[in-house]
């Protein structure tokens, strides 16, 4: 991938930031996208100034269109946006909360995919970070299952429709990132311990684990239409 370019949407934190780091190590010129300028600056510092930060909100299709209009050809796009989810018993999630979960992840992903796909280099790739909830039976996570299932459901169709552009997803299990920092430490640790005990790999995921899977998919010119689980084997238990 030496000399190629990539835009990582959600590259200022967690899985996206780790992916940016691994892509840079592979010699790719990386642009990282997020909303918060502070988070982007912190990420830029962590990446030792090697990535180009761009602040925009992917819920706004105009901002996404402007981003792509102002750029030359890009080889690879990775989408790793976390919009927040309404979790809890199915009947306790209000319609507005259910819709907000779609607004926070599904539509921003679609905004990026629609603008990116006609502009990506034909030898390039589009890689979505989805989520194991799409295929798991996790009480309280029906909203996430619906959103990630919707995204994963598009992969095969788009891999054929947009060919030769490659379209793939990496589907992480529970991964220790900033996304979970907002829940109290004690509850988070209990959640991690329970998940680790149910996972053949014996621990929850790290952003690095998922980033390595993303980079493997991005860098392999013969992989397309794939949803790659990266969950330490949790789906098997």
Ligand X SMILES: NC(=O)c1ccc[n+]([C@@H]2O[C@H](COP(=O)([O-])OP(=O)(O)OC[C@H]3O[C@@H](n4cnc5c(N)ncnc54)[C@H](OP(=O)(O)O)[C@@H]3O)[C@@H](O)[C@H]2O)c1
Provide the binding-site residues for ligand X, judged by CB under 6 A.
10, 12-16, 33-36, 39, 57-59, 80-83, 105, 108, 129, 131-132, 172, 174-175, 177-179
190's tokens = 């209990």
Nearer to ligand X, 116 or 123 (CB): 116
Nearer to ligand X, 36 or 157 (CB): 36
CB of 164 to ligand X, least distance (A): 26
Nearer to ligand X, 11 or 124 (CB): 11
CB of 123 to ligand X, least distance (A): 25
The Cα–Cα gap between 53 and 35 comes to 10
Q: What are the CA-CA distances from residue 106 to residues 48, 199, 233 (Å)?
A: 31, 27, 25
CB of 78 to ligand X, least distance (A): 10
CB of 77 to ligand X, least distance (A): 13
Nearer to ligand X, 178 or 216 (CB): 178
CB of 3 to ligand X, least distance (A): 25
Residue number with the smallest Cβ distance to ligand X: 14
Nearer to ligand X, 114 or 163 (CB): 114
Closest among 24, 87, 15, 25 to 51, alpha carbons compared? 24
């Amino acid at each position: 991938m030496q000399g190629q370019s990539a835009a990582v949407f959600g590259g200022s934190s967690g899985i996206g930031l780790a992916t940016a780091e691994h892509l840079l190590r592979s010699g790719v010129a990386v642009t990282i996208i997020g909303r918060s300028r502070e988070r982007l600056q912190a990420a830029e510092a962590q990446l030792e100034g090697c990535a180009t930060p761009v602040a925009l909100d992917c819920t706004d299709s105009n901002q996404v269109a402007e981003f792509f209009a102002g750029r030359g050809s890009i080889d690879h796009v990775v989408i790793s946006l976390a919009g927040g989810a309404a979790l809890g018993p199915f009947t306790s999630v209000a319609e507005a909360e259910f819709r907000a979960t779609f607004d926070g992840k599904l539509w921003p992903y679609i905004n990026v995919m629609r603008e990116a796909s006609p502009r990506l280099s034909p030898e390039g790739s589009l890689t979505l970070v989805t989520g194991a909830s799409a295929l798991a039976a996790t009480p309280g996570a029906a909203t996430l299952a619906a959103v990630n299932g919707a995204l994963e459901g598009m992969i095969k169709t788009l891999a054929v429709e947009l060919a030769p552009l490659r379209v793939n997803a990496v589907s992480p299990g529970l991964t220790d990132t900033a996304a979970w920092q907002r829940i109290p430490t004690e509850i988070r640790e209990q959640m991690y311990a329970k998940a680790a005990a149910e996972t053949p790999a014996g621990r929850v995921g790290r952003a690095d684990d998922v980033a390595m899977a993303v980079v493997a998919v991005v860098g392999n010119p013969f992989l397309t239409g794939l949803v790659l689980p990266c969950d330490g084997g949790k789906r098997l238990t």
